[in-house]
């Protein structure tokens, strides 16, 4: 059955495709070649040309559809990969926090913190190191040098006054003791290479203990 095509379209297609068929018709006794055999008229050649155009358009549409589908598939895969990466990242962070918390153990209670602070605090001075009655300070040997005399001269009267009041001193005296001992320690540090390690350690611990005594009751 011959497809009906408008004259204008047939003429246009004949110009592009049918001319060859027209030539073929003249050469082969009025027969033009098409997919099914030969076209006997220019109209059939035009119909053949139309079918080729439509077939090409359909093929292009199919290719475009496949390309769009491939793009969507690739985009979906990218989103899924990003999602998996994000989930993995946060899972690793959570696992790391959990392991660190497990290694750290349970949080320290207030009572435990107090006990640890007492253990870390320097020991209190004995009565031979700090006389509870007179407040006399018996300094370690290396702290009796002339270079430390200004600090000793400042601390001796402050601790003598502390002994007189039974350890009840004014905040200004407490600050003066702490500031003087801090400067005493700084001066000791500048000469650390001059002393044996053991002697330096004893002197430093003594000053730390003396600073602690300022906040403790005398005796």
Domain locations along the chain: 7-99, 124-213
Q: What is the pLDDT of residues 45-103, one digit of tens each?
A: 666 677 777 777 777 766 766 766 676 677 677 777 877 778 888 888 887 777 776 77
pTM above 0.75, yes or no: no
Question: Which is nearest to 202 in space by CA: 182, 186, 187, 188?
Answer: 188
* Residue 83 C-beta-side C-alpha neighbours within 13 Å: 6
Q: What is the DSSP letter of 15?
A: I
Q: What is the pLDDT of residues 9-38, one digit of tens each?
A: 554 445 444 444 444 444 444 444 444 455
CB atoms within 10 A of CB 80: 10
Q: Which residue has the tokens 């209190």?
A: 124
Helix, strand, coil abundance in the chain, percent, nearest 5: 70, 5, 25
Residues 6+ apart with CB under 8 A from 178: 211, 214
**Mean pLDDT over each residue of the chain, to the nearest integer:** 77
**What mean pLDDT do residues 172-196 have?**
95
Residues 6+ apart with CB under 8 A from 108: 116
Q: What is the pLDDT of residues 104-149, one digit of tens each?
A: 666 656 565 555 555 567 899 999 999 999 999 999 999 999 999 9
Helices (H), 105-196: 110-120, 149-164, 171-189
């Amino acid at each position: 059955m011959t497809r009906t095509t408008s004259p204008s379209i047939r003429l246009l297609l004949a110009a592009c495709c049918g001319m060859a068929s027209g030539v073929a018709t003249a050469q082969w006794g009025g027969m033009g070649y098409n997919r099914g055999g030969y076209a006997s008229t220019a109209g059939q050649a035009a119909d053949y040309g139309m079918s080729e155009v439509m077939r090409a358009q359909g093929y292009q549409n199919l290719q475009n559809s496949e390309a769009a589908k491939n793009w969507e598939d690739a985009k979906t895969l990218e989103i899924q990969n990003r999602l998996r990466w994000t989930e993995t990242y946060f899972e690793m962070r959570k696992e790391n926090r959990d392991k660190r918390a497990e290694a750290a153990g349970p949080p320290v209670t207030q009572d435990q913190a107090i006990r640890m602070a007492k253990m870390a605090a320097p020991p209190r001075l004995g009565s031979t190191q700090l006389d509870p009655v007179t407040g006399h300070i018996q300094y370690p040997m290396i702290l009796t040098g002339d270079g430390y005399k200004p600090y000793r001269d400042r601390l001796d009267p402050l601790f003598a006054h502390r002994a007189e009041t039974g350890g009840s001193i004014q905040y200004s005296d407490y600050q003066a003791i702490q500031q003087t001992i801090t400067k005493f320690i700084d001066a000791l540090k500048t000469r650390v290479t001059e002393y044996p390690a053991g002697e330096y350690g004893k002197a430093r611990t003594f000053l730390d203990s003396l600073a602690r005594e300022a906040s403790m009751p005398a005796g």
